[in-house]
Amino acid sequence: MNCFRFPWFLENSPTQIYKKLWVSSAIKDRQVEVRVRFEIISYCPVGLFERLSVQINDLVTRVTEWKDGTLVRTLNDRLLLLQRTKEHNVTYLLLATRVPGRELDQGWADLMPIVNKAAGLLKEWPGVLSYLFVDCGHCFGRLDSQEWSNLSSREIGHFPGEVLYTDRPVHLTCPRTGDDINPALVYPSSPPRKSNPGLLSDVGMLCLAKQLGKEWKSLAIELGFTLAEIQRLQSDNPFSTEDSIFSMLVQWRRRQGASVNVSALAAALTAAGRKDLADSVLEHL
Ligand SMILES: [Zn+2]
């Protein structure tokens, strides 16, 4: 088992295998590159790169390594590059993979666990100043490999690291050229839409019932209940208003069937004078 990485056993410069498999194979296979870059300012923690390199052992097999880089193969047989470069007082930690354009989602799925490991490691040094960027994959196709490798090149558009944890937008433009680009080049596959089953679950309804007071009848009317139905809810639950409210909400949910939605509930809450609850309901969307 490879628990340690001994830099003194490694070649100083990038290996031939790396040059062959990575540098010179970029364009010919019509691949695109997704590349995430940590910029660590002034002081890069000793051993960060080495520890990351070791931590990903369970995710990859090693293809080749040198002092400042590792080329690995993921379980899905994709090449992935970890590289450290230094310019002036900035250390760059690059994590990149290359995929055919239609496999961007899978590329991100391979890369993100490693990005998250790196981010986690960096947190262990709270004093270290680091920034996270996503380089514009569209620019990769526009530049030759030398220019693309030059991280301080002004020809590379980049996005703040937050995009990695934000829902993928429908449209995106390159910050460098203003061209419309495929959002999947920059945003990892969109997380499943939060449908929030919680709020419309029995527990969610009960929680809402507890927060409602005498305005519950207005809410019921807004939700389409008749006065007779409201009286029925009361007489069915003579000892507890909360139970009346809960029954009302559950009935409403049943009536809506598949089209049940939180926005309608929020609108009714607002109309019944409980904008505060409407807001907190919508916050969970
Ligand atoms: Zn671009």
CATH of the domain at 221: 1.10.533.10
CA 205 – ligand 1 centroid, Å: 47
114 shares a domain with 52: yes
Task: Answer with the one of 153, 185, 217 that is the final residue of a domain.
Answer: 185
pLDDT along the chain (285 residues), means of 10: 56 85 71 92 81 84 88 88 89 92 90 90 83 93 84 89 90 94 88 57 85 93 94 90 92 83 89 91 74
216 shares a domain with 168: no
Residues 6+ apart with CB under 8 A from 27: 141, 145
pLDDT at 129: 86
148 shares a domain with 44: yes
64 shares a domain with 157: yes
210 shares a domain with 180: no
Task: Answer with the one of 158, 185, 212 that is the final residue of a domain.
Answer: 185
pLDDT at 107: 92
211 shares a domain with 180: no
**H-helix segments, the chain:** 16-21, 48-55, 104-123, 137-142, 145-149, 202-211, 216-222, 227-236, 241-256, 262-271, 275-283
pLDDT at 195: 46
CA dist., res. 29 & res. 24, Å (int): 10
CA 89 – ligand 1 centroid, Å: 26
CA 101 – ligand 1 centroid, Å: 15
Task: Give how far Cα 85 sits from Cα of 37, 56, 94, 184, Å.
Answer: 11, 19, 8, 26
Read off the CATH number of the domain in which 32 is found. 3.30.310.200
Instruction: Give the range of the structural domain holding residue 20, as residue numbers without chain letter.
Output: 7-185
CA 136 – ligand 1 centroid, Å: 5
Q: Is residue 192, in this structure, part of any structural domain at all?
A: no
219 shares a domain with 149: no
CA 4 – ligand 1 centroid, Å: 38
167 shares a domain with 70: yes
CA dist., res. 283 & res. 194, Å (int): 12
Residues in the 5 Å CB sphere of ion ligand 1:
136, 138-139, 157, 174, 176
Torsion (CA) 196, 197, 202, 208 in degrees, nearest 10: 10
pLDDT at 59: 81
170 shares a domain with 38: yes
212 shares a domain with 180: no
CA angle 31, 34, 35 (to 5 degrees): 135
CA 229 – ligand 1 centroid, Å: 60
CA 143 – ligand 1 centroid, Å: 10
Helix axes 48-55, 104-123, angle to 10 degrees: 130
ipTM of the complex: 0.99
217 shares a domain with 176: no
Q: Is residue 24, in this structure, part of any structural domain at all?
A: yes
Q: Is residue 222, in this structure, part of any structural domain at all?
A: yes
**Separate counts of helices (H) and strands (E) for the chain:** 11, 9
CA 114 – ligand 1 centroid, Å: 23
Q: Is residue 195, in this structure, part of any structural domain at all?
A: no
CA 137 – ligand 1 centroid, Å: 6
CA 21 – ligand 1 centroid, Å: 24
CA 172 – ligand 1 centroid, Å: 10
In the numeric block, which tokens belong to residue 4?
């340690």
Phi-psi region at 95: left, alpha or beta (left = phi > 0; alpha = psi -120 to 50): beta
Q: Is residue 2, in this structure, part of any structural domain at all?
A: no
123 shares a domain with 48: yes
In the numeric block, which tokens belong to residue 167?
């829902």
Q: Is residue 191, in this structure, part of any structural domain at all?
A: no
Q: Is residue 197, in this structure, part of any structural domain at all?
A: no
CA 182 – ligand 1 centroid, Å: 10
* Domain count within the chain: 2
Q: Give buried/exposed letters for 58-87 (b at 16+ CB in 10 A, else e).
A: eebeebbbbebbbbbebeeebbbbbbbeee
CA 180 – ligand 1 centroid, Å: 9
CA dist., res. 25 & res. 178, Å (int): 27
Task: Answer with the one of 125, 158, 185 that is the final residue of a domain.
Answer: 185
Q: Is residue 190, in this structure, part of any structural domain at all?
A: no
CA 140 – ligand 1 centroid, Å: 7
